[in-house]
Amino acid sequence: MQITKNSVVTFHYTLNDADGKLLDTSAGREAFAYIHGGGMIVPGLEEQLEGRTAGESLLAVVDAAKGYGDIDPELLQRVPLDKFGGQTVEAGMQFQTPDNRVWSVMDVENGDVLLNGNHPLAGVTLHFNVEITGVREATPDELAHGHVHGEGGHHH
């Protein structure tokens, strides 16, 4: 069966950046499972999996725009340190705002905090080594619930 909209796809992957740095892998875990066409994986990878079958392997290079997006300069902001109510603020810390955006502290200098609200992989070209382990039709329950049941997906 070929991967098409509403297929349940399972695959193992290794994700590296353009310099070969390991970003993520499914090694040692169950294969990742998703419903194709549901926006559950980055668009560039989903496009490159379309039409493939179980047993295929591929290297999918996904540019930032079709991965986690380009860096949005409006999400790089300097905020006065006193806005943090006396809390200790250090580079590398993260916090979530009421709108559910996660912000990373990039730098604290001269009474200002440089914040980045972009996804940590924004602006990164992604290199996925993928081994497709299964393709099947999604069940009506999976489509209704919007996720895979079993096979590395959600269990009820």
Return d(Cα 147, Cα 54) in angstroms, integer: 19
Amino acid symbol at 54: A
Note down pLDDT in tens along the chain; length 156 residues: 999 999 999 999 999 999 999 999 999 999 999 999 999 999 999 999 999 999 999 999 999 999 999 999 999 999 999 999 989 999 999 989 899 889 999 999 999 999 999 999 999 999 999 999 999 999 999 999 999 997 555 544
The pLDDT, as a whole number, for residue 153 is 54
Q: Which two tokens stand for residue 9?
A: 């796809």
Query: Which part of the chain is CATH 2.40.10.330?
Result: 73-116
Give strand pairing partners of 130. 13, 58
Distance of CA 92 to the CA centre of its chain: 19
Name the DSSP letter for residue 153: S
The pLDDT, as a whole number, for residue 151 is 59
CA-wise closest residue to 131 among 15, 42, 18: 15
Q: Which CATH number is 73-116 given? A: 2.40.10.330
In 7-140, which ranges are E strands?
7-16, 22-25, 32-35, 57-62, 76-80, 94-96, 102-109, 112-116, 126-137
| pTM of structure | 0.83
Give residues with Cβ within 8 angstroms of 97, minimum separation 6: 103
The CATH architecture of the domain made up of 7-68+121-145 is Roll (3.10)
